[in-house]
Amino acid sequence: MLIFILVSLVTSLVGTESTNVSTILILPAFGFKKGSTFRFKITSALESRVIMFLLTIQRAHEVSESQVHQACFDTSIHISPINKTDMNKSKVYEWYEEVPQQGIYYPVFLNCLSNHTHLKVDYKYTNINYLIDYRNENITQTLLIFGSLNIFLSLIWIINTLVKRNFIIPIHLAFVILPSIRALICIIEASLWENKKITDDYPKYKENAIAFFSAAYFIIYMITTTLIFSGFCIFRKNLPKHEFFEIVFSTILSVGGFLFGLKASDARTALTAVAMTVFGFMYYLQVNANYLIIFLKILDAEISNELTAKRINLVQNFSVTTITIIAVATILHSTAAAVEAADVYQLGLFESFVFVLEFLQIVFFSLRKAYEGNIEDSKNQIITTDPIIINTPNQKFICVLQRTEEN
């Protein structure tokens, strides 16, 4: 679950830097329009001999690494028409040029000397209309569409809650809050992308706001989902404090570690963040696995209470559907990231699955009359039966103890 929902912070490659010690440094692909410009400044600790290329996606698949290396010894080898070949040694290289044809390009830097020095690349891209990748020019509209859809879901929950107040449980509050937070994130992110279109000196507080609300969203979603898996407020009235603590602690550790890693500026901080994320996520998986084992035992038991059986079936269907969608979303989003799809496509894919997961909450947990009533039975009467003595473990019975007080 965490693998999927912690990938919503979108970044832009307008201007930044990259450092590498290998002989070949390849930057992420960027979409240039005809007449756009790029500027690179490469610095190294030791004198180097650097050759620079801009490769189209098609050419990047055609040329091999050995062919690229051959360019160090034979300048007649054609790698790309957009290149800068300087056979002189230096510690600083600069490359400023105009893109002759619209396309998606990989910047490639080749150090022809095997000195294993650090190559630091500062780069800035400028498209004709905007600074950002031309494929992302409609990303603002995409975000606003998903923001509107989330506002619509939030209104449905509010109306549903006001109309049917007789079956409100604490989990419903989270269902109302989640799409509202998601809508706010989309609106702020749309505003941020509008800034990125015209300047690389955009306000950092917007990124911080997105990170804060994203963390809040993920924490609430993960906690709520696990509470549903546990059956709390559905077919379980109470949840022990230590169980609730485990859910909250593992979730906060996972999300907090991930966001902490995004701000890491050195290796020690990054390793600490990775350790926090891995430990928290494994802890979170263990908690959910325990609830899954308990739930499977409940399914094997004979449930005579019709209302309880309905609610157990509700949790079962929700769990299976949610896990399936998250698995599919993780595979598709990972594939999109692996092929370096544009941010607008990755973001659209992510927000689509988030919307589907939120819509599922309405489908399964909208306040319907079929689930009204006390958890004891559908007639609000306590079911009693003859005493049963179990000498050995038996998974076919559920024992419910209720304390009664006599006046």
- Please tell me the predicted confidence (pLDDT) of residue 64: 78
- Please tell me the predicted confidence (pLDDT) of residue 377: 46
Per CATH, domain 137-366 is 3.40.50.980: no
- Span 32-48, pLDDT tens digits: 998 899 999 888 888 88
Per CATH, domain 14-126 is 2.60.120.680: yes
CA dist., res. 350 & res. 330, Å (int): 9
The DSSP letter of residue 133 is -
Residue 252: closest CA among 287, 289, 209, 228 = 287
How far does Cα 285 stand from its chain's mean position?
Answer: 17
Is there a contact between 357 and 322 (Cβ–Cβ < 8 Å)? yes
Residues of the chain with pLDDT under 50: 1-16, 377-386, 406-407
The answer to whether the Cα torsion of 194, 197, 202, 204 is positive or negative is positive
CA dist., res. 176 & res. 9, Å (int): 22
CA dist., res. 267 & res. 19, Å (int): 14
CA dist., res. 137 & res. 145, Å (int): 15
- Please tell me the predicted confidence (pLDDT) of residue 316: 84
Is there a contact between 125 and 30 (Cβ–Cβ < 8 Å)? yes
* Residue spans per domain, the chain: 14-126, 137-366
Q: What angle do CA 177, 178, 180 make, to 5 degrees?
A: 65
**Mean pLDDT value across the chain:** 80
Q: C-alpha distances in angstroms, 90 versus 48, 110, 180, 344?
A: 6, 13, 54, 39
**Helices (H) then strands (E): counts for the chain:** 10, 9
- Please tell me the predicted confidence (pLDDT) of residue 256: 86
Q: Give helix 204-230 / helix 241-262 axis angle, nearest 10°.
A: 150
- Please tell me the predicted confidence (pLDDT) of residue 407: 47
Where does residue 223 fall: left (phi above 0), alpha (psi -120 to 50 degrees), or beta otherwise?
alpha
CA dist., res. 208 & res. 287, Å (int): 30
Q: Which amino acid is at 63?
A: V
CA dist., res. 337 & res. 38, Å (int): 24
